Structure 1
Amino acid sequence: MSLLDITDPTPPDIEPTADRVRTVLVVEDEPFIAMDIDEVLKAAGMAVEVRSSRNDALRWLESNSPATAVLDFSFRDGDGLAIAVVLQERGIPVIFCSGGEPSDLPDNFNVTAWIRKPFRDCDLLDAVRFAIEMREFHLQMEERA
């Protein structure tokens, strides 16, 4: 399977170790969009944790660590940057899925992908698969160092 092969619904070829579950954190305050993202990712064999607010996601992150995260940019209780900063500090790839523009991000902020709403399922899957493979690769390199 190539890195961005959208015709194969199986997860990436890299096998997670027992202590690394491929959970994707989804933070989206629009219920129908959250449900759509959840269904697309679960159909591709991924574990998904959906949170509907910035504060709820930050609480979840206090005791959990996803493989990657798909974040909206704006929430009723603030923007998604606070979540993204926590994730980035842990080396977890961040994917924004938003109606906004990437120019909304600070210049020095590194984001794995920016998916504009409305999105195609294949674009979401491509970004998430890439992020998970990238995270697994970095973890494997750290273990070898």
Structure 2
Amino acid sequence: MKLEDRLMLILEDEPIIAFDLEDALLAEGAEVAVAATNDQALASIVEKDFGGAILDVNLHGETSYIVAHALRDKGIPFVFATGYGDAAHPAELAHVPTVTKPYSIDEIRRAFAAMA
């Protein structure tokens, strides 16, 4: 999947990481919406037609799995990002590609390509 010309959702609670990823996606030709909480991301999913998403797994003690389920239900491709390595996701999300922080835009591209 190419990132170019897609509206991408970033769910990330660390501003510096979110800004870096936003810059990298913009450089790829994507449009970007950033959310720092599950509630913000869920509201964005209702309002916008996303072409993909990158979800930080751990958001200040909460997981982003509620957002992952909403994306899955809408057929929107997404990848997980985590500082904890290849985290053990719930069984219904075990197939979702995971990138480990610090990751590169190449790793993000490969993760989305693996779903194609």
Kept in 2, the 8 Å contact 1:71–1:80? The answer is yes
Q: Give the RMSD, CA atoms, in angstroms.
A: 2.4
Match of 2:70 among 86, 111, 131: 86
Q: After the TM superposition, which segments of 4 or more aligned residues of structure 1 sit over 6 Å from their partners? A: none
Of structures 1 and 2, the larger Rg is shown by 1
Report Cα offsets for 1:31-79 as digits up to 9, x if no partner.
1100110011100101111111111111111222211100000113721
The count of residues paired between Structure 1 and Structure 2 equals 116
Deviation for aligned residue 1:82: 0.2
How far off is 1:111 after superposition? 4.3
- Aligned equivalents of 2:32, 2:111: Cα separation in 1: 15
Distance 2:67 2:28 in 1: 25
- Map of 1:60 onto structure 2: 44
Partner of 1:17: none
**What is aligned with 2:101?**
117
Given that 1:25 and 1:50 are in contact with CA atoms closer than 8 Å, whether structure 2 keeps it comes out as yes
| Contact persistence 2:25–2:105 (CA under 8 A) | no
Q: Would the aligned equivalents of 1:53 and 1:77 in 2 still touch at CA under 8 Å?
A: no
Which structure shows the bigger proportion of residues in strand conformation? 2
The normalised TM-score by structure 1 is 0.70
Once the two structures are TM-superposed, the CA of residue 112 in structure 1 deviates from its matched residue by 3.9
Gaps of 5+ in 1: 5-9, 12-20, 135-145
Whether the 8 Å contact between 2:97 and 2:111 is mirrored in structure 1 is: yes
Aligned to 1:35: 19
> Gapped runs of 5+ residues in structure 2?
none
